Structure 1
Amino acid sequence: MSAPPADGIAGWAINLMETLGAPGAGLAIALENLFPPLPSEVILPLAGFTASKGSMSLFDAVLWTTLGSVIGALVLYGLGALLGRDRVVAIAAKLPLVKVSDIEKTEAWFAKHGRKTVFFGRMIPIFRSLISIPAGVERMPIMTFTLLTTLGSLIWNTAFVMAGYMLGENWSLVENYMGIVSKVVLGIVVLAVVAFVVIRLRDQRKGKYHARS
């Protein structure tokens, strides 16, 4: 396979890394956290590939990408904290098919499983970024959030940076396989949303039927 293309996300990321070095990789991953359409499955292997060419050390690639992950996550955590529970409840009350009780159930679930969710969520495409917002809304202790985010991100980032480092110009193999995983996760999310809508509409119809009886 050939070297990374000079255009698109891959071209942007590798130019950033070659210009700024390891901090460029950290900046790219921080932006990936804030804008999930930027895929870490592309950026991280590219950081490893760039390290294999000598533009940065492997240690610096892992260090800076993990730092970028934490910074991006903290920004989204702050957004969730700024939004707050009251605003979330107020928004939920105005949304069709959504009940305030849904928020309360989510809060109860997060209170019980929040730590595991933040840690393992760092290793799941799509959820990697989004999980920071409910953590902020629920005001998870900032030190706990930062520690779990750092550990989870370190595992994820190290795996993908190492893959890109070892594969070299074949780094895109990582993107190809993880693209399939991302599509599966997205498909599960879509099915879950569809199931929620169908069940909620059915419940509403039953409620109207009983009200008429």
Structure 2
Amino acid sequence: MIPSILGFGLFGAACLAFTEKISPVPPSHVLLLFLGMTAAPDMQTLVALMFATMIGSTLGSMIWYAGGNWLGPDRADAFVRRFGKFVFLKHATYHRLTQAYRRNNFRASLVAQLVPVARTYLALEAGVLRLSFLPFALATLCGALIWNSAFLVGGYLMRDGDHDPVTIGFRIVAIVVAAEIVFLLALRHSTRRPAEDRPPGEPPR
């Protein structure tokens, strides 16, 4: 399937990046590593792949943004409660992302593009909160370029070496999962106000 899509060149690579952004399958890190190893014979093509996948990833995020804008806060919350488990989005995770987003939407949009789960679904909350589109789109574009380029370059550097793609893929999955756990723990900590900052009588969260 993927080789057939790549037959369309940069447009096919952009379509794969778009698909990855609106669906949890295939995982982005594995897909981008594969593209770097197989679809970039030279540096010029590698750079073109970076920008093609950046555009595809950003457009995928815009789909989530538009969906969140249409749903609104109440329907979005109910939607995640009912269907989030089917796309690996827990309601508790969604709620924490929402709290963090209200503090700094541009920085959150940028950082989210470097974190699994958040990089896909935070765009939904951006739409739900009706955040300003231009800053969100710019942050998403920059974050997607950083994330995509890192894995594309990694794959490109390994293309001529004696590396086992399966082993490499599992190692990357382990690293990404660890990064996700660290991010969620930090997010959980950041959404809790210290006891001294809470008004008297307010129970801990």
1:91 CA drift (Å): 6.5
CA deviation string 1:55-112 (max 9, x = no partner): x811221111000011000001001111112424666999xxxxxxx96x87554221
The superposition leaves residues 11-42 of structure 1 with CA deviations (integer Å, 9 ceiling, x where unpaired) of x323321x111111110110011002321111
- Cα distance in 2 for partners of 1:116, 1:37 equals 26
Residue in 2 aligned with 1:177? 171
- Match in the other structure for 2:138: 147
Correspondence for 1:114 among 105, 114, 122: 105
Q: Taking structure 1 as reference, are residues 116 and 41 closer, same or farther at Cα in structure 2, changes over 3 Å only?
A: same
Contact 1:48 1:160 survives alignment (8 Å): yes
> Which aligned pairs between 1:1-213 and structure 2 lie closer than 5 A?
12-17=1-6, 19-53=7-41, 57-88=45-76, 109-168=100-159, 170=163, 172=165, 174-184=168-178
**CA distance 1:47–1:93, shift in 2 (3 Å):** closer
Query: Residue 167 and residue 132 in structure 1: after superposition, are their counterparts in 2 closer, same or farther (change >3 A)?
Result: same
Scaled by the length of structure 1, the TM-score of the pair is 0.68
- Counterpart code for 1:153: A
Deviates more, 1:114-123 or 1:75-84: 114-123
Identity of aligned residues (%): 26
Contact 1:62 1:161 in 2 (8 A): yes
Q: Which structure 2 segments of 5+ residues have no match?
A: 83-93, 187-205
Q: What residue ranges of structure 1 are gaps of 5+ in the alignment?
A: 1-11, 95-101, 193-213
Q: CA deviation at 1:150?
A: 0.4
Moved over 6 A (4+): 90-94, 188-192
In the alignment of these two chains, the number of paired residues is: 171
Cα distance between partner residues in 2 of 1:41 and 1:189: 17
Residue 174 of structure 2 aligns to which amino acid in structure 1?
I
Provide the aligned C-alpha RMSD in A. Answer: 3.1
Taking the aligned partners of 1:177 and 1:93, their CA distance within structure 2 comes to 32
Q: Comparing both structures, which one devotes a greater share of its residues to helix?
A: 1
